[in-house]
Structure 1
């Protein structure tokens, strides 16, 4: 996965890259608000309480924000938080919050049960999280043996412990989980079960490395920036950034996502990458490669194209277009040499002779044709060869 500055002059390629850039900007749109649960479960029993909060990552704190809540599409409340005390089955449904100004959140499902057992799992799980699963029986009853399963395979026979801890989860931890528990009622223990899926999401997106200038000339000051998007539900997560050139670290991990190149030199040309990680040795992700070519002074001045930045997905390659004056100079030189060569050919061609003056002599000169379209002048110098040029339909004398 690489981005390149290359000497290309196709306007069609520029348009194609521009469309890719617009797609990139669209996918980089701000993340909308998210509904957060406290306690973290979205499955509860009747009579229990739950608090929901509208978490918005795009709020600066400098603007006045209002919050609105919707249940099954209908407005029900205004305020940053929504609390349900002594929940009833009628409180089950799809909840959304909306900031003004701002977008409406995705739906968050709350389920209220009147059963004997529910398996409570976090509604949101992210890479690196430590998850708690709770095999929860209805308050007021006595419970016995509890067993946890993953894809119907036993992962913990916990005795009377009703919680299971899963440490440092990743994408592969996504699965269907289940628990069984014995609940004492009517003088006997009855076994009940419940299950729930867990889908582990990315904590932060794959980083992209960006350049402050569309082209770099010797002596320029430029900035490389490492961009990533952190989940609004994990906005307190501390991220660290490092930069590499040609596979070697040029800036160790720090809280800054910028790397400065002061007074660029040609030795600064190379393949640049940035890496992002959580504090400690948690989740690490590497960006795609950005290839930078530092031009000598004046190399890019003749044809200066606008900067086009393209994001990349794994397995894809993209090109950033720039025109180099060096290529144009080479084209001009080659064209001049071709014109000079053609002029020499025209000067060396034999003069046209009128039919009435020497018809026999002209006829004799072009009678000896070999298989390689070569004619020999047998009437004059035996070492002189005349080559037929199919493009111009004129003979060329080669000594």
Structure 2
């Protein structure tokens, strides 16, 4: 009894809510046909043992006023029952016969039973002989009891005959036809879906639910699931459930299942169920950029991540740049995010970006995100801006440095012989200039550098060669080159001297420096002359032939001993004379001679000049009235 109870509880479908198990009837004795006055009882059972309360009985469809688990019956007809936890049982037809001969079949006989014993019984069994069994009027056996193999599913009619013996004569008796009542081994399966309205990306469980009669609880069932006309899962299995970890909209369709015995003797299928996997529209589309804030340097990689907060199924992601028609890229995948790389960003990649996501319901756009691109400066171009064809001492030259590419602000440096002259910032890009008043020492190599925080770039080196003075006041001192001392005009000397004195007074009074941003030098910064050279001037031939690249004479300025109140300044020119060679020779040879002193000390014509009262006088006044040329003293030469 305990084993039967355990099998009853564990039977497939037992206790499941999808298919309510049926109550079943137990007939005692287990025959569907009886003689009148036979004692026959019916018992109502469900998957619990025993059946608990609220038992209902029905006879020929009419309710009987009985609630007990077991009842005694005496009338021919159809009987059913049900309990509170079960559905209505299969009907059983019980016949009470008044005939002398009856054919008895056991109850219940289930689908798939291989052997069924039919019994031919007489009211007076001892007087029965020669029993014969027929199916549809055809003799099938003379053995009693007759064992019927492989119970047919048709409605064949069976009967039996027998000889009745008495004291006088014997007769042949025939039973009424009997139809074997087949009971369901298990109910037609029902396919259930959980959840009933699945959404994409969620797990779904299919269950093939059926009810196996507890009277055949030892029968093994197996199950198979189908979509349209193709099996899904692993095929036939003893597990009545099939689990899909993830369902997509394309998995929608018509599903059904089959259940059968392990011996394949009984197979039943469920009705079809339409499973429609719901798709959740995408929402909250968002675009992220790495590096964050979109601060990129030209040449770096840019990562664009498009994501959605919700959305199921296959999502189409696309990336766009504002102002362009074609998308930057598209990806179709089952995920809530997708990535797009721009491996080497260019200047034109700066701008505003957005992405879109779509899963059939229509694209949803993200907000715009600005990508800022910083461009390293290119090698700057360094140029001079001259007033004339040559750079001459005293000229103001504009040094200009400009990087053609680069994100502002840009800081520029100006270099002379790798020494920084100054720097300047261009907050909005473009180039910068630097003004420089030329002196002799400003000859040499110049360059500039540019930097916007992404690395310094240097320009090419430009060489600047500075020639002698270009203005009239300086040319006055240069026209003495190669002219004998005796030919020098005292008036011209005085005028030139006055200009130089005024010029250097101005320099000395201002501390010997130029305006801010312009390098300056004092006269004492000039290179001292070399007194070891000698002049090659030919006294017999005062006319000189100037070489093609005549080296300008280098004046040396030095304040003389101010102890002599009458002495203001001393200037010495070292004037090498050219020795003319043969016309066939392109080279000029120079021989060092004694330096020729063109003019030396400038002496005040007014003794009160030493008091400094004359410092404001105009240097363009007649120099002959203010200065005179005097021989240079040894102390002046020493300076």
TM class, shorter-chain normalised?
0.5 to 0.7
| 1:344 equivalent in structure 2 | none
Work out whether 1:131 is the aligned partner of 2:131.
Answer: no
Secondary structure of residue in 2 paired with 1:217 = coil
| 2:206 equivalent in structure 1 | 224
Alignment of 1:251-270 (within 5 A): 251-264=234-247
How far, CA to CA, are the matches of 2:54 and 2:254 in structure 1?
A: 46
Q: Deviations over 1:306-350 (max 9, x none)?
A: xxxxxxxxxxxxxxxxxxx967649xxxxxxxxxxxxxxxxxxxx
TM-score (norm 1): 0.53
How far, CA to CA, are the matches of 2:82 and 2:277 in structure 1?
A: 47
Q: Which moved more, 1:104-113 or 1:69-78?
A: 69-78
Given that 2:44 and 2:70 are in contact with CA atoms closer than 8 Å, whether structure 1 keeps it comes out as yes
Q: Relative CO higher for 1 or 2, CA cutoff 8 Å, sep ≥ 6?
A: 1
| 1:358 equivalent in structure 2 | none
| 2:53 equivalent in structure 1 | 65
TM-score (norm 2): 0.35
Q: 1:212 aligns with which of 194, 208, 222?
A: 194
Given that 1:132 and 1:166 are in contact with CA atoms closer than 8 Å, whether structure 2 keeps it comes out as yes
How far, CA to CA, are the matches of 2:44 and 2:56 in structure 1?
A: 9
Instruction: Mark the runs of 5 or more structure 1 residues left unpaired by the alignment.
Output: 1-27, 85-89, 303-324, 331-399
| 1:12 equivalent in structure 2 | none
Q: 1:120 aligns with which of 93, 104, 107?
A: 104
Shift of 1:74: 8.3
Shift of 1:259: 0.9
Q: Deviations over 1:322-380 (max 9, x none)?
A: xxx967649xxxxxxxxxxxxxxxxxxxxxxxxxxxxxxxxxxxxxxxxxxxxxxxxxx
Work out whether 1:40 is the aligned partner of 2:30.
Answer: yes
Instruction: Mark the runs of 5 or more structure 2 residues left unpaired by the alignment.
Output: 1-17, 284-309, 312-357, 364-639
Alignment of 1:292-307 (within 5 A): 298=281
Q: Deviations over 1:31-56 (max 9, x none)?
A: 65443313321212356443321133
Count of aligned positions: 271
How far, CA to CA, are the matches of 1:259 and 1:97 in structure 2?
A: 34
1:256–1:122 Cα change, 3 Å: same
Q: 2:158 aligns with which of 167, 171, 177?
A: 177
Shift of 1:178: 1.7
Alignment of 1:387-398 (within 5 A): none
Work out whether 1:80 is the aligned partner of 2:80.
Answer: no
Given that 1:33 and 1:232 are in contact with CA atoms closer than 8 Å, whether structure 2 keeps it comes out as no
Shift of 1:136: 1.5
Work out whether 1:110 is the aligned partner of 2:98.
Answer: no
How far, CA to CA, are the matches of 2:86 and 2:254 in structure 1?
A: 39
Given that 1:141 and 1:184 are in contact with CA atoms closer than 8 Å, whether structure 2 keeps it comes out as no
Given that 1:67 and 1:78 are in contact with CA atoms closer than 8 Å, whether structure 2 keeps it comes out as yes
| 1:198 equivalent in structure 2 | 180
| 1:391 equivalent in structure 2 | none
1:102–1:292 Cα change, 3 Å: closer
Work out whether 1:151 is the aligned partner of 2:136.
Answer: yes
How far, CA to CA, are the matches of 1:102 and 1:207 in structure 2?
A: 16
How far, CA to CA, are the matches of 2:257 and 2:97 in structure 1?
A: 48
| 1:10 equivalent in structure 2 | none
> Whose radius of gyration is greater, 1 or 2?
2
Given that 2:20 and 2:86 are in contact with CA atoms closer than 8 Å, whether structure 1 keeps it comes out as no
How far, CA to CA, are the matches of 1:68 and 1:295 in structure 2?
A: 44
